[in-house]
């Protein structure tokens, strides 16, 4: 058995290396490294995949969030509601623009922002909600959309971990993550479900005015070359990355299915284990398992378990060990320990197991056996 890796990008590449290599060579031969035709083609491919009107590629997922917030033309001091249990990009981009991140605790089952707690956080300065679809599963978008309508708020979805996730509204209507709110933001960081070979990101919208504005924002505020109409940023997807992404997009559903299969293997292996909670599956969302994240319980020490796994050559990761409100950089917001008890408890009890498209049954069996050996 090959050693188990947390992610296996090389194994995934090996299966499509001919296609990828020739696409990269084509871009090199054309020398159109910036804004080559591959970028437009990928934008079209991704918008068709998501059934969205517009996709605007950019440099990375964090830039996508920043450009989305800029497109709303918010004023310093305006408030944006988001989650403390996430990667920092959301709070970071809100703060960078002089806006105020307002944090709301997460749901103990899904680990996504708790919609019932959002309303209490809405003030006269609230302008937008920024839900993060964590680990591959959508937030409760029925309730978030109701609130946004009621209070006239924008919705920016962070679907960096959920590209390919499908949400079913209580009406039965289905939409892909990233196409539900006003703007969706995603990342093609190499380890994401759709990853390129460097940095990459995109914004998704069905609103043509927003699409036009976003296109200007990511291109120095220009529509016409050397005519800056608004203050923008420089954020582009390289042609080489776009060419790679168009190829990998064809396999995204099969990649996500491979992750789901691995997750089912783990689920079954851990069902009887009293020391851990397996990932909750929300009835209204598919789950594409960007991460397979379990929670320890009944006195099982998460950090000791991580050490035990490492000693048996089983890698694991903690997403996320310190919530946003307890990070030094965000102390100025005035939150304190105890403000978000669910998030704080999760930061001490979650652990993500190896999850990627290339896991074999013997590897999954070995990981499960090691986890069970420690916790049972």
DSSP letter for each residue of 124-146: TTEEEEE-B-GGGB---HHHHHH
Give the interface segment with ligand PLP, choosing from 33-41, 60-68, 106-114, 209-217 (CB under 6 A): 60-68
Q: Does 189 bind ligand PLP (CB under 6 A)?
A: yes
- Given 60, 112, 235, 291, the residue binding ligand PLP (CB under 6 A): 60
- Minimum CB separation from ligand PLP for residue 69, in Å? 13
- Given 42, 87, 111, 335, the residue binding ligand PLP (CB under 6 A): 87
Which one, 340 or 366, has the nearer CB to ligand PLP?
A: 340
Give the residue from 103, 172, 163 showing the smallest Cα distance to 133: 163
Maximum distance among all alpha carbons in the chain? 65
- φ and ψ at residue 272, rounded to 5 degrees: -90, 0
Give the interface segment with ligand PLP, choosing from 42-50, 154-162, 255-263, 306-314 (CB under 6 A): 154-162
Which one, 86 or 357, has the nearer CB to ligand PLP?
A: 86
Q: Does 137 bind ligand PLP (CB under 6 A)?
A: no
- Given 47, 83, 161, 219, the residue binding ligand PLP (CB under 6 A): 161
- Given 132, 144, 276, 364, the residue binding ligand PLP (CB under 6 A): 132
- Minimum CB separation from ligand PLP for residue 70, in Å? 15
**Consecutive H or E run containing 353:** strand 350-353
DSSP letter for each residue of 40-84: HHHHHHHHHHHT-SEEEEES-HHHHHHHHHHHTTPPTT-EEEE-S
Q: What is the crossing angle of helices 252-270 and 239-250, to 10°?
A: 60
Q: Does 101 bind ligand PLP (CB under 6 A)?
A: no
Binding-site residue total for ligand PLP (CB under 6 A)?
A: 14
Distance of CA 99 to the CA centre of its chain: 22
Give the interface segment with ligand PLP, choosing from 84-92, 118-126, 172-180, 239-247 (CB under 6 A): 84-92
8 A C-beta contact, residue 5 and residue 213:
no
Q: Does 275 bind ligand PLP (CB under 6 A)?
A: no
Integer Cα distance of 27 and 189 in angstroms? 20
Give the interface segment with ligand PLP, choosing from 49-57, 83-91, 137-145, 279-287 (CB under 6 A): 83-91
- Given 12, 47, 54, 86, the residue binding ligand PLP (CB under 6 A): 86
- Minimum CB separation from ligand PLP for residue 86, in Å? 5
Integer Cα distance of 42 and 260 in angstroms? 25
Cα 26 to Cα 36, 73, 201, 236, 302, distances in angstroms: 11, 39, 22, 19, 48
- Given 61, 131, 136, 354, the residue binding ligand PLP (CB under 6 A): 61
- Given 158, 238, 344, 358, the residue binding ligand PLP (CB under 6 A): 158
Q: How many residues comprise the chain?
A: 376
Binding footprint of ligand PLP on the chain (CB under 6 A)? 60-62, 86-87, 89, 132, 158, 160-161, 187, 189, 199, 201
């Amino acid at each position: 058995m090959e050693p188990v890796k947390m992610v296996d990008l090389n194994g995934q590449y090996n299966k499509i290396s001919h296609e990828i290599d020739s696409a990269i060579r084509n871009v090199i031969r054309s020398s159109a490294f910036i804004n080559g035709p591959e970028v437009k083609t990928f934008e079209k491919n991704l918008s068709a995949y998501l059934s969205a009107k517009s996709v605007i590629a950019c440099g990375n997922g964090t830039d996508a969030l920043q450009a989305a917030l800029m497109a709303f033309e918010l004023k310093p001091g305006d408030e944006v509601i988001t989650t403390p249990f996430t990667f920092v990009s959301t709070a970071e981009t809100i703060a960078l623009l002089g806006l105020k991140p307002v944090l709301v605790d997460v749901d103990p089952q899904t680990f996504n922002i708790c919609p019932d707690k959002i309303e209490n956080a809405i003030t006269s300065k609230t302008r937008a909600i920024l839900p993060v679809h964590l680990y591959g599963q959508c937030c409760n978008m029925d309730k978030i959309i109701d609130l946004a309508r009621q209070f006239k708020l924008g919705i920016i979805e962070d679907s960096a971990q959920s590209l390919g996730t499908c949400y079913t509204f209580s009406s039965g209507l289905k939409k892909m993550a990233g196409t539900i709110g006003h703007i969706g933001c995603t990342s093609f960081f190499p380890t994401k479900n759709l990853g390129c070979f460097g940095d990459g990101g995109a914004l998704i919208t069905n609103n043509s005015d927003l699409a036009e504005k976003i296109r200007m924002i990511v291109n120095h505020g220009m529509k016409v070359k050397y005519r800056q109409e608004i203050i923008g940023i420089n954020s582009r997807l390289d042609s080489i990355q776009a060419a790679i992404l168009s190829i990998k997009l064809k396999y995204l559903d099969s990649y996500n299915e491979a992750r789901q299969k691995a997750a089912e293997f783990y689920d079954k292996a851990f069902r009887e284990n009293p020391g851990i909670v397996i990932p909750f599956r929300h009835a209204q969302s598919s789950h594409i398992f960007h991460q397979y994240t379990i929670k320890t319980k009944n006195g099982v020490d998460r950090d000791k378990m991580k050490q035990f796994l490492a000693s048996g050559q089983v890698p694991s990761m903690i997403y996320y060990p310190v919530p946003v409100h307890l990070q030094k950089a965000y102390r100025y917001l005035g939150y304190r320990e105890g403000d978000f008890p669910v998030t704080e408890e999760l930061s001490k009890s979650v652990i993500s197991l190896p999850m990627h498209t290339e896991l074999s049954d013997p590897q999954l069996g070995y990981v499960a056996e090691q986890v069970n050996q420690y916790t049972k």
